[in-house]
Structure 1
Amino acid sequence: MAVKIIENDNGLEGLKSKKSTQRLNQIDRIREFGVGDHISLPQLVVCGDQSAGKSSALERITGIPFPREDGVCTKFPTEIILRHSTETSRITATIIPTSARSEPDKVLLRAYRKELDDFTELPDVILEAATLMRIRGYGVNEGPAFAADVLRIEVVGNTGLHLTVVDLPGLIAVENDQQTEEDIALVDTLVDAYLKSSRTIILAVVQANNDIANQSIIRRARKFDRDGQRTVGIITKPDLINKGTEGRIASLAKNESPIKLKLGFFLLKNPSPSQLESGMSRSEQIHQELDFFAFWKEHRLDPSRVGIIALQHFLQDLHSRHIEKELPMVRREITALLTKIDGSLTSLGEERQTPSDIRMFLARLSMKFHNLTQAAIDGNYSDGDFFAGSNRDSSTRLRADIHCLNGEFSTYMRDKGHLRKLCIDSEPDVGSESDIDPEEEGEMMRVAKHEVETWVKRVYWKTRGRELPGNYNHVLLSELYHEQSSRWTMIANDHLTSVLATTANFVDIILNWIIEEEDVKSRVREIIQSKFEVKKAAAAKELETLIKDEKRQPITYNHYYTDNIQNARHDAMKGNIQKAMQSVEHDQNGKLHACKTAMDSLKLIVSLQNRVIVDMDDQACSEALAGLNAYYKVAMKTFVDNVCRQVIERHIVSDLPDLFSPMIVMELSDQDLVRIAEEPPQQKEKRATLSELAQNLRDSLLHLHN
């Protein structure tokens, strides 16, 4: 059955021009692609206070006969899409649900689709739409009296034009029994959503029989279109004004009243319901309108601002210029949105439908992990994007961080690694040896020289064996060293903990860098964590072995040990001789002559012999202390190097890239692959939606550049 479309002898054709048709065809085409759901496109919007005559004005502009029942068409936005075609004719009604609807409601409303034979079926469509939207009074007694869902009427045929026009619910001044405060807020929000778009031409309908200052549509239009660049005032119902007030309406129409619009006002006299019911034709409506305003000659109205023909011609030019102005920005916004969508698709990663796809996906991730980690431990920071953002809290330069930690460890061991540190004269006395129990505190003690000597002598007496006086048991040096180095275990463990924390943080940074999906990131982290725990255990065991080695009998073949012993003995001998020399001066009556004669040399030797008195036990303790200091220096340096090389480097740093290597991915079973990185259904849907939108955007850009 052929679709019957009302021929528009003076309506739609009045808006038609070759240039505007070409532009409108472009806008309509990208609207077909669904771009209008993401970017505002040029459109005409009819709005005003309730019962201001919006639907009648829209009918006269579009030629589509809307129902005359009060409140029917104004319960929800009605979007009229007109597509000119000489090949096919159809009228299709659909519903676009608001994003606030629940998913089941969206499915229900989107499922509505009805093909109309002619516009006489339009009232039934509006009734069905209101019922599906669950508007109060249409099958339900509760709920809102208005809906933000859009009834879309698509007309394809010999309309003469591609155009989109929207009729919005009328603005409500005060609540009543049928319309609540919630209803008022809903209508206000809905209308604002349309008006705020800079690509909406606002057709503000005002009633001649109501003071314009009391009609909120002008005020609301000015809120979003302060300069009046895209607002057209349409004055309706001039036949209902009181006699003698025509001058006030004429001043408004001529833009001479206090309320002015840059685009001005138009006067319309719509046919009455009785005239429409009598079958008044469109041409008769136009002649009746012109005859009505012929009695207003004394007010000198501008003919270009009176009647539907003048309005249609004006809108033709205005809409054409508006589209020409907005199209460049539409192109830029489409390009920007396409860039954003492409970025979102990139962030989703590769499509993963089979285990082979997943394996390839994880293999690429593992290569990125391996390469970045290897570069970080090699100190090769040439990947500017990853390494450039390194900072103290989020460092990506792992080798530099490890060097820093090892350096701090070495410095701390040198300065504070020993249990007892000899205070120099300038340092304050922070407490005697007896004040702190090293077994409980584990803190370094600052002690005076005599306290060190007392400690050595105490251990000396506890370790006496069969050695002769002046000698000390080999156990003495061992016990002194073990006690002096007792803090090494704590310090080394703290260093290992710091390195592990730094390394774990680095791994997290890399995972955040290479993996966008949180679920995949979490499961890959589990793989890495399990292998990292093995490395931690191996490092802890290696450190424990080093500690055990240090608790054995001291052993070294480092020549620095003997050099340190010789230097200590020389320093001790020099100090004894200096003290003795001070006493020798008294034997020579305050004068000491050191000559090469045998007599003077003999006198000096005798005096020194009398003054250098050696206590055998003190001598043994002094030798033991010198041995301790010499061995401690050598052992401490060796221990620091061993911790850095054998614990940190061997077990933590060197094999870090292997925590998530391509070899690990290749060994995963299909079940593990699916568990780790299967693409979630929501992501598949998102990918399909984004891919479709991206293609539509590309098609839109291509169409706009043709």
Structure 2
Amino acid sequence: MPLYEAHESNSDVDEVSVLPQLNTDAAKDAFAIKFDKLNLSETDVPSDSPPSSPINASHDCAEEPQSPKTALPEDPFESAASKVLFEAIDKLQSCNARRYMNNIPQLVIVGGQSVGKSSLLQSLTGIPFAVGSTLCTRFATRIVSRRSEPGSQTVIRISISPPEFAVPGIELADPEVYKRFDEIHGSITSDDFANIIDMVSETYLGIRPGSGNIHKNFAAEVLKIEISGPTRAYFSILDIPGVFENSERVKKSEASGVKNMVAEYMRQEDNIVICVADANTDLANQAICEIARDRATSDRLVGVFTKCDRVENTDAVVHTVVSAPKGGQFSKHGWFVVRNKKGLDDDVVDFDLVSEEDQLFSSKAWDEIPSSRKGTTALKKYLGHILSERIRSAFPSIIRQAQLLQRDAVRELTSLGSERKTVSEQRSFLATIARNYEAKATEALMQPWCITSPESRVRSIVKATNESFGAKMRAYGHTYCFDNNMESFDDMIRKLQNEMYPDESVDLTESIERPEVLMPADDEFSEVLSTEDLFDKIAEEVATFSSATLPGMVHPDIIPQLYRLQTQKWRQIAEEHVRNISDAITTATCHLIQSVCPRGNDASILNAEISEIISKMHRQTLSRTLEALHDYCDGNQSQLLQTADPTFLERLQKLQKVRLINAFNRGSVLFREATAARASSLQAACELFAQCHPSAAANTSNDVHDTLKVYYEVRFFFMIEL
């Protein structure tokens, strides 16, 4: 099945072919046109235009007879080569190629509401647009006309295409709904066309007129009307909704969306913009020209005055048309004047618009305007030549872009491997992906340096995260700072040894100094109370529990209560750490899956399914891990304080010895001073005792602090190594 439906064509050259359709949306979007069947290259794009540029020739203000060499032929797409170009561009537009290629020429007709765009389109295309109605202005409409073989029947095909770009403020329709609309007619009346527009609007594009939030007045999708017949000319034009100032009947966001749509179509460099203006209204008061001034260059602007049969004073219109080539916004392609078909004209038997225009513009009031600028026939001929010239100019670039897109599409198709029709082949393919993922995951864990993507080096990431967690716990994990000003027991022994045995002094610099861990401030955890606050809290608790104990005794519930207070941050910091680890592993997993099953091609669905399965496993693992962490932290806060660490008593005794030696040193100084002052031995001994045992409360506070500190360090080590 082709990537898009082939349109009926009787050209004597092969149609543009496409790659086979795959079974996923990603493959449908893969644009890979084979231009080799066109037998065209960048250097041999056919050229059958007249020697003298028809665009420039038509700008003469004076009426001059045109020679056969300079006159514009009736149909610029008459030759076989031109038909090939036209069909190729049409097929590109049919498969929404403008999403990928930004240089596909097209005619775009723009204007304000009620300026006669529908009537002009009817004259240009022969489609019975409802004149005076706004039905066709709620969404863009592309009309494609082509000539079929003599004697063939006229065929009208109507379908809906996706929007060429997103339009802020305009709600998108459901593609599953509007893609189902595809009708073919042999003929169509104005009533038939109005009914089709109503059905498309309501049923397929979801338009619900009104100004409330539940209403929708415009659509970004494109209604495509293709007409082929033996008397039809090759022609293509895109009509977009008209801009308007009064938005009382629509939502403000939609009014802005319509302006955005018009502006975006104008901004696209290969769009030829046909600005339709009401000849009865001052040009300066028509917003469409102001919008075009900022968004389209003069070489892409064509002006058309409509309703010329209703103009009372033709001087302003004639002056604008005649003076346009001399400079200004429309200096390149100038202005045209046309007569609109009115609703009353349908009642006239054998009404002929061409005759009516000839009669209107043959009057003296319009004499200054060249005949090449008068009437719908001249306008259509001119637009056809502009489109033909643009297509020829852009075609080499289009070929290059298509070849690049084809190369990328072929690469993506190749990356999918051979077809996998049977269950066995599909299982084998999945097993290969699983084995490749397992190998990558093992490498990320055991040999992270072999992984090119830094985000996939799980072992390195987890190690760095663990180190950060340990540093954060050391810096902010406690509520109060312990007394860390005391020398270590080993340093104290060295110092005493030097004093007692000066001849065998030991270098004190050999003691290991623990570097201070500097952590960035953390607003959530960085508040750590001082050592003085800790001793105040201990004294407070000792005083509270002293009513149930003998003086100088430590109540057994004091230390557990202080320990729970000191470790109350552990759960939150640890949970944050576990989630960081989980996020890092999830990110690494996504990169590993991408390396064995890329998202960029038809494996996107498989990639998403595998990612979801592994993500579900990660979520379950994270949930169980957090549950275990919460159980541990809750137990740490509620259970009895116990430890089987054989170094607990040893470390506690060393800490107590250091405190005793420090007190003894201070007491020794006072003892020597008292002895030198001829104080009694009893007084000197009392000074020494006072340093070692200042008070029962102080002794109790010191004992509680030392026990709490040693037990905290034991449990802290177990916590960060958990």
- State the TM-score bracket (shorter-chain normalisation): 0.5 to 0.7
SS at match of 1:153: strand
Which position in structure 2 is the counterpart of 1:575?
669
Alpha-carbon distance change, 405 to 217 in structure 1, aligned in 2, over 3 angstroms: closer
Whole-angstrom distance in 2 between the partners of 1:54 and 1:621:
104
Structure 2 counterpart of 1:13, from 69, 75, 83: 75
Q: Deviations over 1:332-385 (max 9, x none)?
A: 89999x99xx99xx9xxxx9x99999999999999988987899xx99999644
Correspondence for 1:92 = 157
In structure 2, the partner of 1:202 is 273
Tell me if the contact between 2:145 and 2:236 (Cα under 8 Å) persists in the aligned partners.
Answer: yes
Aligned letter for 1:232? V
Structure 1 counterpart SS, 2:650: coil
1:683: which partner in 2?
none
Compared CA separation, residues 19 and 409, structure 1 to 2 (3 A): same
1:116 to 185, 196, 215: 185
* 1:314 aligns to 2:385 (yes or no): no
Preserved contact between residue 302 and residue 334 of structure 2 (Cα < 8 Å): yes
1: distance between equivalents of 2:403 and 2:357? 44
Q: List per-residue Cα deviations over 1:661-704 (Å, max 9, x = no partner).
A: xxxxxxxxxxxxxxxxxxxxxxxxxxxxxxxxxxxxxxxxxxxx
Structure 1 residues 376-409: Cα deviation after superposition (integer angstroms, max 9, x where no partner): xx99999644799x9xxx9994123223134326
Amino acid at match of 2:717: R
Counterpart contact for 1:369–1:510, Cα < 8 Å: no
- TM-score w.r.t. length of structure 1: 0.56
Q: 1:438 aligns with which of 532, 535, 541?
A: 541
Q: How does 1:56-95 map to 2 (within 5 A)?
A: 56-62=119-125, 64-66=126-128, 70-71=132-133, 74=136, 76=138, 77-82=140-145, 90-95=155-160
Partner amino acid, structure 2, of 1:524? H
Bigger relative contact order (CA 8 A; separation at least 6): 1
CA distance in 2, matches of 1:215, 1:151: 30
Q: Secondary structure at the match of 2:475?
A: helix
1:429-468 Cα distance to aligned partner (Å, 9 max, x none): 99997995316989xxxxxxxxxxxx9xx999868xxxxx
Native 8 Å contact 1:85 1:157 kept in 2 = yes
Relative to structure 1, the CA distance from residue 368 to residue 44 in structure 2 (aligned partners, 3 Å threshold; closer, same or farther) is: same
- In the TM superposition, residue 196 of structure 1 has moved relative to its aligned partner by 3.4
CA, structure 1 residues 545+230, in 2 after alignment: closer, same or farther (shift >3 Å)?
Answer: same
Cα distance in 2, alignment partners of residues 315 and 151 from structure 1: 21
Q: Structure 1 residues 536 and 631, CA, compared in 2 at 3 Å: closer, same or farther?
A: same
For residue 548 of structure 1, give the secondary structure of its aligned residue in structure 2: coil
Identity %: 14
> Do the aligned partners of residues 12 and 523 (structure 1) sit closer, same or farther apart at CA in structure 2, a change above 3 Å counting?
farther
Match of 2:236 in 1: 164
- Residue identity matched to 1:571: N
Asked if the contact 2:456/2:589 (under 8 Å) is kept, the reply is no
d(CA) in 1 for partners of 2:682, 2:113: 126
CA contact (8 A) 2:124 2:376 kept: yes
CA distance in 1, matches of 2:709, 2:531: 28
Contact 1:489 1:547 in 2 (8 A): no
1:155 paired residue number: 227
Residue 255 of structure 1: aligned partner: 323
Q: 1:327 to 1:172 in 2, by over 3 A?
A: farther
1:266 pairs with 329, 336, 350, which one? 336
Structure-2 separation of matches of 1:553 and 1:181? 84
Unaligned runs of 5+ in 1: 419-426, 443-454, 464-475, 587-607, 652-706
* Contact 1:12/1:161 (8 A) holds in 2: no
**Alignment check: 8 A CA contact 2:305 2:337 kept:** yes
Question: Conserved in 1, the CA contact under 8 Å of 2:478 and 2:567?
Answer: no
How far apart, in 1, do the equivalents of 2:251 and 2:695 lie? 99
Task: Please state how far the C-alpha of 1:232 moved relative to its aligned partner.
Answer: 1.3
Q: Secondary structure at the match of 2:369?
A: coil
Q: Secondary structure at the match of 2:188?
A: helix
Q: Which amino acid aligns with 1:311?
A: L
Deviation at 1:612, TM superposition (A): 4.9
Counterparts of residues 166-185 of structure 1 (less than 5 Å): 166-168=238-240, 181-182=249-250
Residue 43 of structure 1, aligned match among 106, 110, 116: 106
For the structure 1 residues 277 and 255, does the alpha-carbon distance in structure 2 shift closer, same or farther, using more than 3 Å as the test?
Answer: farther
More displaced stretch, 532-541 vs 546-555: 546-555
Instruction: Kindly state the Cα deviation for residue 126 of structure 1 after the two structures are TM-superposed.
Output: 0.7
User: Equivalent residue for 1:648?
Assistant: 720
Q: Which has the higher helix share?
A: 1
Contact 1:12 1:61 in 2 (8 A): no
Matches within 5 A, 1:305-704: 305-308=373-376, 310-320=378-388, 322=390, 324=393, 384-385=454-455, 397-408=464-475, 415-416=482-483, 437-438=540-541, 479=554, 487-495=562-570, 497-508=572-583, 510-511=585-586, 514=589, 521=615, 524-538=618-632, 547-549=641-643, 555-556=649-650, 560=654, 564=658, 567=661, 571=665, 574-575=668-669, 577-584=671-678, 612-613=684-685, 639=711, 641-649=713-721, 651=722
The whole-number CA distance in structure 1 between the counterparts of 2:314 and 2:242 is: 25
RMSD: 6.6
For 2:179 and 2:661, the matched residues in 1 are separated by 95
AA in 1 matched with 2:274: L
Residue equivalent to 1:32: 94
Q: Report if aligned partners of 1:135, 1:146 keep a CA contact under 8 Å in 2.
A: no
For the residues of structure 2 that align with 1:441 and 1:382, how far apart are their CA atoms? Answer: 61
For 1:297 and 1:29, the matched residues in 2 are separated by: 44
The answer as to whether partners of 1:81 and 1:164 remain within 8 angstroms in 2 is: yes
Deviations 1:588-611 (A, max 9, x none): xxxxxxxxxxxxxxxxxxxx8687
Distance change >3 Å, CA 334–CA 159, structure 1 → 2? farther
SS in 2 for 1:164: strand
Distance 1:370 1:566, change over 3 A: farther
* Cα distance in structure 2, aligned partners of 1:239 and 1:411: 90
- Rounded to whole Å, the distance in 1 between the matches of 2:252 and 2:478 is 74
TM-score relative to the length of structure 2:
0.55
- For residues 493-513 of structure 1, what are the alpha-carbon distances to aligned partners after superposition, in whole Å with 9 as ceiling and x for unaligned? 534542343333442454366
Amino acid at match of 1:582: A
Q: Any stretches of 5+ residues in structure 2 without a counterpart?
A: 1-7, 11-71, 486-529, 591-607
Please tell me whether the aligned partners of residues 106 and 237 of structure 2 are also in contact (alpha carbons under 8 angstroms): yes
Question: Are 1:46 and 1:203, in contact at CA under 8 Å, matched by a contact in 2?
Answer: yes
Preserved CA contact (<8 Å) 1:561 1:631: no
Q: Deviations over 1:591-644 (max 9, x none)?
A: xxxxxxxxxxxxxxxxx8687556999799589999999999986776455324
Shift of 1:265: 0.5
**Residue deviations 1:181-221 (CA, integer Å, cap 9, x gap):** 4499978854762453123433233454x244487364455
d(CA) in 2 for partners of 1:381, 1:70: 67
1:46 CA drift (Å): 3.1
